């Protein structure tokens, strides 16, 4: 009887171990799959964001550069006028 009980316990323990091992393997497979999906999504979204940022930067450079040139030219002209103004004794006072 003792031997039979030992055999049954061992068989049940082995069945439980096998079942748990299979469940763990399935869970890890699902987890791995989900992680790979999320990483792929993250890479795709990051790549899209980088492309968008690059497009915005390029577009803004094209629209901002002429304005910067204009304002720099205006500053130079104003500096010249200031120098001329301060150079006239009647206007400086």
Q: What is the Cα–Cα distance from 65 to 73, expressed in whole angstroms?
A: 12
Residue extents of the structural domains in the chain: 2-66
pLDDT higher than threshold 80 for residue 64: no
Decide: helix, strand or coil at residue 93. coil
**pTM of the complete model:** 0.49
* Three state DSSP letters for 10-24: HHHHHHHHHHHHHHH
pLDDT higher than threshold 80 for residue 33: yes
Q: What is the Cα–Cα distance from 17 to 74, expressed in whole angstroms?
A: 82
Distances from the Cα of 25 to the Cα of 9, 31, 39, angstroms:
24, 10, 21
Band the pLDDT of 66: cuts 50, 70, 90. Answer: confident
In contact, 85 and 91? CB cutoff 8 Å:
yes
In contact, 85 and 92? CB cutoff 8 Å:
yes
């Amino acid at each position: 009887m003792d031997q039979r009980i030992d055999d049954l316990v061992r068989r049940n323990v082995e069945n439980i171990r096998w079942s748990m091992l299979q469940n763990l393997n399935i869970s890890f497979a699902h987890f791995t799959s989900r992680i790979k999906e999320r990483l792929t999504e993250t890479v795709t979204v990051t790549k899209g964001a980088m492309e968008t940022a690059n497009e915005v930067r390029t577009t803004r450079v094209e629209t901002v550069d002429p304005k910067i040139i204009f304002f720099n030219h205006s500053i130079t002209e104003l500096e010249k006028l200031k120098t001329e103004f301060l150079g006239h004794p009647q206007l400086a006072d």
